[in-house]
């Protein structure tokens, strides 16, 4: 599993907000952590190199917004790596990495989880009026939760509150005001990016009827 993330490259390419030694150093440490999680060589990672150069310039009193020709090849490598990673779902590496104390990563996690649950709803044959899709941001130290709540199913994604491999919670419920529901089930975050398979598992394990069954069950109007 590749746990690499695009936003460390985006941060390295647009470091204008990193104007103090403290926040430039924090960005560099975060990039090193992400590169290690991805199994990359931190000595050769273009984002780490670029952010390291930026930290040195901030510490030297140079203009952090200035463009430096010597960075051209490293910046190009960042652009190429970022384009490659953005073609892949970021939800799994974000959940593996964790997003506590990182507001940028947390926003990306919420965005990716919301998109994954919307795709799941479509695979279940639902339209927006059939479900609620909500975000509980939580405190700065946690990921918060993104929840899909239908008339018969409650599905929630968070960053490993219940431990690795249990980032997805799902259960059957009795309507959208039922916040307790039946027995909890758990799944690994990787399932969230395969909406078709996820929908099949939900239908099987929660005994969900086909969505159009409710229409089939309506009484047929009789002629007067």
pLDDT single digits (tens) 154-172:
999 999 777 788 999 999 9
Residue where a domain stops, chosen among 60, 87, 114: 87
Asked if residue 63 belongs to a domain, the reply is: yes
Q: What was the pLDDT predicted at 3?
A: 58
Asked if residue 189 belongs to a domain, the reply is: yes
| Residues 81 and 99 occupy one common structural domain | no
| Residues 61 and 128 occupy one common structural domain | no
Asked if residue 112 belongs to a domain, the reply is: yes
* pLDDT-derived band at 217, boundaries 50, 70, 90: very low
**Among the listed ranges 35-39, 116-120, 172-176, which one has the minimum average pLDDT value?**
35-39
For 122-192, list the strands marked E by DSSP.
131-136, 145-150, 153-157, 168-172, 185-187
Alpha carbon distance 42, 109 (integer Å) = 24
Asked if residue 190 belongs to a domain, the reply is: yes
The pTM is what? Answer: 0.66
| Residues 74 and 98 occupy one common structural domain | no
Asked if residue 26 belongs to a domain, the reply is: yes
Asked if residue 207 belongs to a domain, the reply is: yes
> Given a cut of 70, is residue 213 above it in pLDDT?
no
Residue where a domain stops, chosen among 70, 87, 104: 87
Structural domain range at position 11: 7-87
> Given a cut of 90, is residue 104 above it in pLDDT?
no
| Residues 146 and 68 occupy one common structural domain | no
| Residues 126 and 71 occupy one common structural domain | no
H helices of 60-209, in order, are 72-86, 91-97, 103-123, 195-205
185: three-class secondary structure by DSSP: strand
Q: State pLDDT tens for residues 70-80.
A: 999 999 999 99
188: three-class secondary structure by DSSP: coil
Asked if residue 33 belongs to a domain, the reply is: yes
Spatial CB neighbours of 110, under 8 Å, sequence gap ≥ 6: 135, 137, 144, 146
Residue where a domain stops, chosen among 45, 67, 87: 87
Mean pLDDT of all residues in 121-146: 95
Q: How many CB atoms lie within 10 A of CB 179?
A: 9
């Amino acid at each position: 599993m590749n746990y690499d993330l695009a936003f460390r490259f985006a941060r390295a390419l647009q470091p204008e907000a990193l104007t103090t030694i403290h926040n430039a150093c924090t960005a560099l440490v975060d990039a090193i952590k992400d590169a290690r999680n991805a199994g990359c060589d931190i000595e050769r990672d273009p984002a780490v190199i670029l952010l390291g150069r930026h930290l040195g310039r901030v510490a030297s009193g140079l203009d952090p917004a200035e463009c430096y020709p010597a960075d051209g090849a490293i910046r190009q490598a960042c652009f190429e790596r970022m384009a490659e990673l953005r073609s892949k779902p970021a939800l799994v590496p974000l959940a593996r990495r964790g997003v506590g104390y990182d507001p940028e990563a947390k926003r990306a996690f919420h965005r990716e989880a919301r998109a994954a649950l919307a795709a799941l709803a479509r695979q279940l044959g639902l339209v927006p009026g059939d479900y609620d899709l909500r975000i509980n941001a939580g405190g700065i130290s946690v990921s918060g939760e993104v929840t899909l709540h239908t008339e018969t199913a409650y599905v929630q994604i968070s960053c490993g509150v219940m431990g690795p491999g249990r980032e997805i919670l799902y259960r059957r419920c009795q309507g959208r005001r039922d916040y307790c529901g039946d027995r909890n089930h758990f799944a690994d975050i990787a399932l969230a990016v395969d909406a078709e398979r996820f929908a099949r598992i939900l239908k099987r394990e929660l005994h969900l009827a086909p969505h159009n069954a409710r229409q089939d069950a309506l009484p047929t109007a009789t002629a007067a």
